[in-house]
Amino acid sequence: MKNTDSKSHLRGESIYLDDIAEVQGTLYGLVFDSPVAHARILNFNCKKAENLSGLIKIFTFTDIPGENQIGAIIKDEPLFAENEVHFIGQAIALIVAESERTARDAKKLIEIEFEELPLITDPKIAKEKEQFIVPPRTFRLGNIQKGKEQSKYIIKGNSETGGQEHLYLETQGAYAVPKENGNITLYSSTQGPTSVQKITSQVLDVPMNKIEVDVNRLGGGFGGKEDQATPWAAMVSLAAFILNKPVKISLSRHDDLRMTGKRHPYTAEYTIGLSEDLKIQFYEVEFIQDGGASADLSPAIMERTLFHGTGSYFIPNTEITVYSCKTNTPPNTAFRGFGGPQGIFAIEAAVQQAADEIGVAAHKIQYTNLLKEGDEFPYGQIAKQAEAISSWKSADDLFSIGKQCKEAEQFNSENKNFKKGISVTPICFGISFTNTVMNHARALVHIYQDGSVGISTGAIEMGQGVNTKMKQVASQVFSIPLERIKIETTNTTRVANTSPTAASSGADLNGKAVEIATTDLLGRLKQTASEMLNSSIEHIQLIDEYIHHKNKKTDIKWNKLIETAFLNRVKLSEKGHYASPEIWYDKSKEKGSPFTYHVYGTSVTTALVDTIRGTFDIESVDIVHDFGKSMNLLLDKGQVEGALIQGIGWLSLEEIRYDKSGRLLSNALSTYKVPDINSAPKSVRVEALESSGHKHAILKSKAVGEPPFLYGIGSYFAVQNAIKAFNPGFKPDFIAPMTHEKVFMNLYKK
Ligand code: MTE
Ligand code: LUZ
Ligand code: MOS
């Protein structure tokens, strides 16, 4: 079962935002953004720019009829800067012209004067000055003091993970087309059409029903378009609304890199205690999250870090705190894993450091402490259908962890110029938006008179294959081929009040809504069939496009059934609404059961370090992953492979750097190294854990979008272990990314 988009992708026929046929008279927008990181604006003069021929208008905050505000969780972010700027790349104005070229020329003619203000780029300094986005939060389980008393080994340390650029192939963009009576059709490359609709309506001071957001597909989002697709959409809508002309914006890669936020960098300070038998007795950790200049999704991301603070382990005494800090860089945002990977890296660092100091293999400590059925997470949820141990055992059976370690040791004893390192990475990731109210979705299904089917949902196709999965659900319920089914664009007029396609839950939530709507329709169709056959409904089945009666195939085909239903005036359209059951969370106690289920898995990573050049290859990654009962193993394996390589990039290649003035140094693909085919593992094996799936997962097929990103963590520790094999005096730090430069320095560090 392939991704149903694969053919049009391959032929270059798939339509992204910039491929939408433009309406005559379309104008082009370009953002004028701040060149300084923190300053008061003393003077803004665009007279010269406005005199340029072909220049239509330059929009600033003074042109906004409604609120100059785009903050989704906290209202702390203006669409256009008013009197102050807070980061380099912050939007100050939108230049609208007949061509993008003219807009670029005009940009150079804008005059602006600033009074520069002191700035903070280091989140640790922000913490000292109590520049918080929201107050810190703490999750607690058990009693740290008790844990200390039971510990033979107590280890203190710290770790650090860096930012990450989303590098969706399609940059941010939006296209607003005005309609009659002040209505707007808004095409946006967004994961969150409702959020785009809502914020745009507030900026324009019009009701939401005047803004129709339509999304065909994205050329990748990875979280970068969960919240940060909104400003561009609001800007072009503002211009279209005031000028009554279609206006489009499509960011150049350079502008996108500079103006948009990235994965949150985190630092962690931890203390971990273990008893003689290597049971973790307590874990105390304090994270500092670099939020950037405004809240964006930072409070929600901070929450997911708290939820994933203990990774795949049961730790009876835990205290996890996160400080979300404000700095003068672009607001950091959602990125695959959403703060979870940052939390999990720290516990893995603590385990590795403990292993080093105690003198045992890390995988001994890891295995000893894996979550079991009935264990309690620090937030009170009880682990059910826990697959941590089963996936580890399955990985060990299939890939022989012990044997791989022995072979690496043997290799290392025989080679000096190359060293091997191995690491094991157990993963555990919670599925559901941690904000319980967001876990719902809707679908609208039409069966046309000829038997073809059109489905609208709130899910956004961004390469992950959610449209293919939606078709599979309908095809399975109706028992008709996929060719009869079309997935429509995601459109706020057809399906309203959607949550963003995020938290890996797009397929589950929207798929369940499709299942509900199609099941309702099926009931009605069976009723029609029973009338056609003068029988009763329990004798009717639909199998492979034919009505079966009393378990015997009839000659009545799907089309005939639909035609008859139509002539009998049966309702052939249905909507479905799904809200995840059973989940809840009490923020005042920091306890609850927020996740519908968890996804587990185990990977074994082997790295090969060239000790002369200081370079490394990831030789192999062997994975046993908990897909539940995968509804589409090809797509799901694609998600695992893609996420793995994205994770490897985060921890071993990609380095976001700002200078002291808040300027992004890694502002091009020449200075920011993303994984390519040469840095991909030489071998990736992905095996499915045998499991019965989960009843609340769509067709028992567990969410797969984000969890496998965590397998990338293995690359960091595998390379680190290879360095240790060469340089026994090396005392590792736990600062990521482990770039080739750092490997080189670490090989010879005394
Ligand atoms: N896969 C592709 N090809 N492109 C993407 O942008 N985003 C990831 C993941 N896989 C992404 C992707 C992220 S961050 C999420 S949350 C999920 O897909 C969202 O889709 P789902 O909920 O349908 O899994
Ligand atoms: N977005 C969000 C997310 O709003 N809440 C979440 O819990 C979440 N998790 C992962 C990715 N995006
Ligand atoms: Mo994904 S970070 O939930 O868009």
**Order of strands across the sheet with 440-447?**
485-487, 453-457, 440-447, 573-579
Cα separation, 593 vs 584, in Å, equals: 5
Per-residue model confidence (pLDDT) at position 653: 96
- Output the CA–CA distances (angstroms, integers) from residue 303 to 106, 342, 556, 587, 709, in the order listed: 43, 12, 54, 10, 18
Rounded to an integer, the average pLDDT of 702-709 is 98
Tell me what pLDDT residue 517 has.
98
For residue 172, what are its two tokens? Answer: 């941010």
Centre of ligand 2 to C-alpha 486, Å, is 28
pLDDT digits (tens, 9 = 90+) for 628-663: 999 999 999 999 999 999 999 999 999 999 999 999
> What is the atom index within ligand 3 of the atom nearest the CA of 705?
1
User: Is beta strand 317-326 parallel, antiparallel or unpaired with respect to 453-457?
Assistant: unpaired
The percent of residues above 90 in pLDDT, for the chain, comes to 98
**Distance separating alpha carbons of residues 647 and 105, to the nearest angstrom:** 39
Percent of the chain past pLDDT 70, that is, above it, reads: 100
Residues in Cβ contact with 304 at an 8 Å cutoff, skipping those fewer than 6 apart: 337, 338, 339, 340, 343, 430, 434
Which atom of ligand 1 is the closest one to the Cα of 168? 6
Distance, in Å, from the CA atom of 565 to the CA atom of 571, rounded to the nearest integer, reads: 8
Beta carbon of 335 within 6 Å of any ligand 3 atom: yes
* Displacement of CA 643 from its chain's centroid (Å): 10
> Catalytic positions, please?
706
- Which segments within 69-223 are labelled E, that is strand? 84-85, 91-97, 111-116, 132-141, 153-161, 173-178, 184-188, 211-215
Give the pLDDT score at 187: 98
Question: Which atom of ligand 2 has the smallest separation from the CA of 336?
Answer: 11
Ligand 1 centre to CA of 240 (Å) is 31
Q: Atom 23 in ligand 1: which residue has the minimum CA distance?
A: 506
CA of 341 to the centre of ligand 2 (A): 13
Q: Answer yes or no: is pLDDT of 2 > 90.
A: no
The ligand with the least distance to the CA atom of 640 is 1
Going by C-beta distance under 8 Å and a sequence separation of 6 or more, which residues neighbour residue 45? 110, 111, 112
pLDDT band, residue 585 (cuts 50/70/90): very high
pTM attached to this predicted model: 0.97
Distance from the first to the final alpha carbon of the chain: 54
Q: What is the mean pLDDT of the chain?
A: 97
- Cα atoms found within 13 Å of the Cα of residue 271, Cβ hemisphere only: 11
Residue 438 alpha carbon to ligand 2 centre in Å: 9
Count of C-beta atoms within a 10 Å radius of residue 570: 16
Tell me, what's the pLDDT at 334?
A: 98
pLDDT in tens, 321-363: 999 999 999 999 999 999 999 999 999 999 999 999 999 999 9
The model's pLDDT over 205-215, given as tens digits with 9 standing for 90+, comes to 999 999 999 99
Residue to mutate, 226, 460, 461, ligand 3, most ligand atoms under 8 Å from C-beta: 226
User: Quick check: 692 pLDDT over 90?
Assistant: no
pLDDT value at residue 729: 87
653 lines ligand 3 (CB under 6 A): no
The one-letter amino acid at 324: S
Residue burial 229-240, b: 16+ Cβ < 10 Å; e: rest: bbbbbbbbbbbb
Give the residue whose CA is nearest to atom 4 of ligand 3. Answer: 223
User: DSSP label at 681?
Assistant: -
Q: What residues have CB less than 8 Å from 324, skipping those under 6 apart?
A: 132, 133, 134, 136, 289, 291, 298, 299, 302
Confidence at 715, pLDDT banded by 50, 70, 90? very high
Name the nearest CA neighbour of 744 among 583, 730, 407. Answer: 730
Q: Give the distance (Å) from ligand 2 centre to CA of residue 711.
A: 19
Within 10 Å of residue 490's Cβ, how many Cβ atoms?
Answer: 28
Structure confidence by residue, pLDDT tens digits, 228-252:
999 999 999 999 999 999 999 999 9
pLDDT bin (cut points 50, 70, 90) of residue 593 is very high
Q: Residue 44 carries which side chain, given as an amino acid letter?
A: F
Residue type at 446 in one-letter notation: H
pLDDT score recorded for residue 242: 98
Q: Are strands 280-292 and 266-274 parallel, antiparallel or unpaired?
A: antiparallel
Helix, strand and coil in the chain, % to nearest 5: 35, 25, 40
| Single-letter residue type at 47 | K
Confidence of residue 690 (pLDDT cuts 50, 70, 90): confident
**Mean of the pLDDT values across residues 610-639?**
97
- Within 10 A of 41 (CB to CB), how many other CB atoms are there? 17
Quick: pLDDT tens for 724-739.
Answer: 999 988 999 999 999 9
Overall size of the chain counted in residues: 750
Q: For residue range 52-86, list pLDDT tens digits in order.
A: 999 999 999 999 999 999 999 999 999 999 999 99
The number of C-alpha atoms within 13 Å of 463 and in the hemisphere containing its C-beta is: 18
* 163-196 per-position pLDDT tens digit: 999 999 999 999 999 999 999 999 999 999 999 9
